[in-house]
Amino acid sequence: MSDSLAFLPFTKPSIDEDTIAAVADVLRSGWLTSGPNVQKLEAQLSEYFGGRPVRTFNSGTCTMEIALRIAGIGAGDEVITTPNSWVATANVIIETGATPVFVDIDPKTHNIDLNKVEAVITPRTKAIIPVHMCGLPCDMDKLYELADKYKLRVVEDAAQAIGSSWKGKRIGAFGDFVSFSFQVNKNIMTGEGGCLVLNNAEEARLAEKYRLQGVTRSGLDGIDVDVLGGKYNMTDIAAAIGLGQMKHLAEFNAKRAELARHYFSSFGADFETQTGAELPVANFENSNWHMFHIVLPENVNRAVFMQQMLDKKIGLGYHYRAIHLFTYYRERGFTDGMFPIAERVGKQIVTLPLFPAMNKEDVERVVSAVKSCLL
């Protein structure tokens, strides 16, 4: 019977016909690079984030790197971050010439453990990059208290957190630098892309320079380059996708929350004690439910589990393997045992299917497959 079931991936973007038509319009217009759609998307995002300046880029990764550059972070500086993230979060620190300093995560939220941050602050510490994992925000009061006390710049890696909130305020609408990704798996996407929420017009001007080779223009033929920039601008094709996605953001996130609620009720109150697996924090006030993960019990081999689920036509992800255990990071002195919680989670976590086009029957199918593997 399960042969007739379609494969269920762990995520899939929802794209409406209007968006497809809008992309076709851009292609027909002949203006494909950054243009009117980019400006329109930046204006909409700025409104979404309470009027703060917003600039778009061609990835969430370069968005964070540019934030660090605007903050003047470079060689000799230390930047605190979490080992439980996509490797981009730490890579951008090294790209600027600075040194990443990892702090282990909280076992429940899987976010950086802010109680352990003070212990690693040195006179060289210049910034902190917390990640709002799966869209569940860090403790923003504690984060900005620490930043104030030690004069640290904050680059929030909010790649997964569009539409998340803290005490009724939207993530991105307050704080220091806030970086979002529009990579295809995120709650809204532009194929590839990202945006940075900035503090003021001066930072926005710098962001524009860094994203286009450091160029400033004046008059019809005036051009100068006074900083080293790169090629990070968003195309108008991508921006047209983003504008189409923005129309559905609230609805997408509401659907995700509804499906997440259904996961919890389908797993049932006894699931954790019966299986030894861990469910995510059931936070329906702050999270945008970017992902729904479970941490498998120690005695379950993740690769075997993933194969069993694949045999039932269910695709899983794992977000993430601990960054410090990748070869490149080991070669820089990091080893096993340094951040035990991130290591355990990184080894045993799986991401279950969750995307707006799913329905409750899909959730139930995943839950019964998980239970049949673990019980």
Ligand X SMILES: *Cc1c(COP(=O)(O)O)cnc(C)c1O
Positions marked active-site: 186
Question: From CA 165, how far away is CA 139, in angstroms rounded?
Answer: 11
Count the alpha carbons within 13 Å of 300 in the hemisphere toward its beta carbon: 22
- Residues 25-84 binding ligand X (CB under 6 A) are 59-61
Residue 224: CB minimum distance to ligand X, A: 29
Exposed, middle or buried by CB within 10 Å (0-12, 13-18, 19+), for 165? middle
Measured torsion, CA atoms of residues 46, 257, 84, 193, in degrees rounded to the nearest 10? -40
Sole residue written with tokens 């379609």? 6
Exactly one of 11, 34, 46, 89 binds ligand X (CB under 6 A); that residue is: 89
Copy the structure tokens of residue 172.
């991105």
Q: Kindly state the number of chain residues that form the binding site for ligand X, as judged by CB under 6 A.
A: 14
Cβ closer to ligand X: 271 or 339? Answer: 339
- Residues 190-209 binding ligand X (CB under 6 A) are 194
Cβ closer to ligand X: 84 or 275? Answer: 84
Residue 291: CB minimum distance to ligand X, A: 9
Residue 304: CB minimum distance to ligand X, A: 26
Residue 88 binding ligand X, by CB under 6 A:
yes
Residue 216: CB minimum distance to ligand X, A: 26
Nearest by Cα to 288 from 359, 348, 355: 355
Name the packing angle between helices 249-267 and 360-374 (round to 10°). 40
Do strands 78-81 and 99-102 pair parallel, antiparallel, or not at all (unpaired)? parallel
Provide CB contacts within 8 A for 206, sequence distance 6+.
69, 70, 227
x/- map, 119-148, ligand X, by CB under 6 A: ------------x-----------------
Evaluated on CA atoms 151, 153, 156, 157, the torsion sign reads negative
Exactly one of 80, 105, 159, 349 binds ligand X (CB under 6 A); that residue is: 159
- Residues 314-343 binding ligand X (CB under 6 A) are none
Cβ closer to ligand X: 275 or 351? Answer: 351
Cβ closer to ligand X: 82 or 275? Answer: 82
* Site for ligand X, rule CB under 6 A: 59-61, 85-86, 88-89, 131, 157, 159-160, 181, 183, 194
